[in-house]
Amino acid sequence: MELSSRAPASAAPLAHKGSIVVSGEVEPAWSSFTVTPAITRSTGVGPALHWMMPETDNSATGDGDSGGQERWSLLMVTQRLHRWNGAQYQANLWAGVGAGLLTTVPGNGNSRGNRSAWAPWAQADFETRRFYIGASTRLFQAADIGRLITSARAGLALTSADYNRWQPWLMLEARTMEGLQQGVEITPLLRVLHRRVLAEAGVSTSGSVRLNLTYTY
Amino acid sequence: MTFSQRLLPLVALVLASLSQGLALAGSPLYRISVNGMVCSFCAQGIEKRLKALPGTESVHIDLSKGMVVITARPGATLDPATLKKAVRDAGYEVRGIEGPSATSTGAPGTPN
């Protein structure tokens, strides 16, 4: 089941040829807005904006750029490397890369302005009509600042898939965000999807509220 | 107004209804078995691409059976190769295509 550059755990980051996937996600440490037009059935190219709020103590990353906000403005390429279509399942391998600018916004008087940035990522997922499992990793890198975000997700549909009805899912995500948060964050999410719309909401073990909305044009 | 003059509109209405019914009965159906169609969020791309074909009247998707049923416009025919390409462009794999067959009572022709 969509990704703009940041895959809302199920769907593919990319929809059908000629489509445009628009996705927004909001949470305290990392928010994003991505637009992914599919120029072929397996390739998408589009802009992505990510806002990150690093933890005050970034000694683990050694970047010394504590506090403030980071804005990553990237042009992303999304590539479906392979899809396995079975009678009862779908599995995908995805990869991509973004290039653009990191803008740091002063939080501690240590602004460094703009610098070039790049962001490779990869994702694997497997899905049936009632079950989802997937993992992804993505790196945001700019000069001496690096953010490595790795996640694994599993999901169970509460109802059978029906093309004419909303389908609710319970998702569980484990995620590490090096440079943004310490430790492993666990987030249970409720997902609902129906044709062009996929929405998710959840609260992590650290108390962070997460909202995600994806729409396919 | 004579009896025949009063009867004429009624006859025309009956004929029009019969004509429409015959036309619908003559709409060919195509059944496509599709692999990988596991949720509506992904399958809507199949519907969108098939509906864009000029000969398509309606598209019905059954996720549980992995089946897409297309009703063609009356008198129109759809090329199986074109149907297959539309499904592939949506990211899916065609197991088989049946049709055209005539519309039958109770056939899944519900527009989505």
Is the residue at A8 inside a domain?
no
ipTM for this model: 0.76
Q: Does any CB of chain B come closer than 8 Å to the CB of residue A43?
A: no
Which of the residues B40, B47, B70, B89 would you substitute to probe the A interface, choosing the one with the greatest number of A C-beta atoms within 10 Å? B40
Tally of domains in chain A? 1
Which of the residues A195, A212, A216, A217 would you substitute to probe the B interface, choosing the one with the greatest number of B C-beta atoms within 10 Å? A195
Q: Does any CB of chain A come closer than 8 Å to the CB of residue B84?
A: no
Q: What is the largest CA-CA distance in chain B?
A: 65
The answer to whether the predicted template modeling score (pTM) of the entire model surpasses 0.95 is no
For chain B, the residue count is 112
Q: Which amino acid is at A114?
A: N
Domain that holds residue A54: 20-216
Q: Does any CB of chain A come closer than 8 Å to the CB of residue B53?
A: no
CATH of the domain at A46: 2.40.160.40
Of A163, A160, A188, A164, give the one whose Cα is nearest residue A174. Answer: A188
Q: Does any CB of chain A come closer than 8 Å to the CB of residue B88?
A: yes
H helical segments located in chain B: 3-25, 40-51, 80-89
CB A120 within 8 A of CB A99: no
User: CA angle, A106 as apex, A101 and A111 as ends, to 5°?
Assistant: 65
pLDDT in tens, chain A (217 residues): 433 334 444 456 788 888 899 999 999 889 999 999 999 989 999 999 999 988 764 444 444 444 688 999 999 999 999 999 999 999 999 999 999 999 988 765 556 688 999 999 999 999 999 999 999 999 999 988 999 999 999 999 999 889 999 999 999 999 999 988 889 999 999 999 998 989 999 999 988 899 999 988 9
Distance from CA of A82 to the nearest CA of B (A): 10
Q: Do A163 and B61 touch (CB under 8 A)?
A: yes
Q: Does any CB of chain B come closer than 8 Å to the CB of residue A21?
A: no
Which of the residues A89, A90, A196 would you substitute to probe the B interface, choosing the one with the greatest number of B C-beta atoms within 10 Å? A90
Q: Which amino acid is at B29?
A: L
Is the residue at A9 inside a domain?
no
Is the residue at A4 inside a domain?
no
Angle between the B40-51 and B80-89 helix axes, to the nearest 10 degrees?
Answer: 140
B65's CB contacts (< 8 A; 6+ apart) are: none
- The number of CA neighbours under 13 Å toward the Cβ of B95 is 14
Q: Is the domain B27-102 a CATH 3.30.70.100 member?
A: yes
